[in-house]
Amino acid sequence: MQKLTMLIAILAIFSSCAKEAVRSTAPSTTGVDNAGARKAAAVSTINFSGYTWQVRDESGSSGPGPNYWSGASNSVWVDSNGRLHLKIRRDAATGRWVCAEVYSNQTFGYGTYVWKIEGAVDKLDRNIVLGLFNYKSGDNGHHEVDIEFARWGNDAWPNYNYTVYPATGSGNVSQTYELALNGTYTSYKFVRTATSVSYKGYHGHNLIEANSFFPWTTPAGFNVSTLSLPVHMNLWLYGGSAPSNGQEVEIIIHSFSFTAA
């Protein structure tokens, strides 16, 4: 058990470092370049779960990855049931793999954030990342609260990641797990306060404690962000590498909700 705990801790560090490595050579998670401006502004918005979201659409490649980002209706759309679809696909015209991201016009502070997801997030290709997070645009390494489904290019690494970046200073805290689901309907939650961030996942779309898994809270005294921040949801390729299985992938987000503290 002690060896297993140590292995999980090491993998958590590798996961965090891998993400930072991408950021040291490419723009931030939200696609802001080193000059602090997008290569092309998002050209459209969508309405989802009672909020307005900007759809990322850029003319060139940018981070994370770097990747190409499309706001086309076959990359990002809301269906007739009000569910948000994010898709990584290969563009027939260019042969490029294109990724998807939306981010909220509204900012959110202390309270409970919940996503209800449909998709085999535990079986994503090793090069695919699904992110659900808070982030302050243009401030890499600070003011960020992440849930990420990713193996960071390595099949041996855990596929479920919690990461919190500090308000000031350097370094982050994180926890990783190996996620194995019974089906494709799951829910994910984090709770932000002035002093901590607490996480938990759930089987199904009912947040019943009997169905919960992998709770984790930031260590006491960790310098969490106190800012009101936008919410981002993205589906992207680690290192800009194509899916190793050559398959497109689509994730459906049934709902996002925020309950203020």
DSSP 27-74: --TT---TTSS-SS---EEEEETTEEEEEP--SSEETTTTEEE--STT
**Model pLDDT for residues 83-116, shown as the tens digit of each residue:** 999 999 999 999 999 999 999 999 999 999 999 9
Residue matched to tokens 């560090």 = 13
pLDDT band at 53 (very low <50, low <70, confident <90, very high): very high
Round to whole Å and give the CA distance between 17 and 172: 10
Give the CA distances from residue 108 to residues 2, 74, 79, 193, 227, in Å, rounded to whole numbers and listed in that order: 39, 28, 25, 12, 8
**Model pLDDT for residues 14-27, shown as the tens digit of each residue:** 344 334 333 322 22
* 3-class secondary-structure state, position 145: strand
Q: Quick check: 63 and 22 in contact, CB under 8 A?
A: yes
- Domain boundaries, given as residue ranges, for the chain: 2-260
Q: Quick check: 137 and 228 in contact, CB under 8 A?
A: no
Enter the tokens of residue 12.
């958590």
Enter the tokens of residue 1.
């058990």
Predicted model pTM: 0.86
Round to whole Å and give the CA distance between 40 and 58: 5
Mean residue pLDDT of the chain comes to: 87
Based on its alpha-carbon atoms, the radius of gyration of the chain, rounded to whole angstroms, reads 17
Q: Give the pLDDT confidence score for residue 169 in this predicted structure.
A: 96
Enter the tokens of residue 161.
């990641």
Please identify, in words, the CATH class of the domain defined by 2-260.
mainly beta
**Model pLDDT for residues 150-164, shown as the tens digit of each residue:** 999 999 999 999 999
**Intra-chain end-to-end CA distance of the chain, in Å:** 37
What torsion do the CA atoms of 147, 163, 89, 252 make, to the nearest 10 degrees?
0
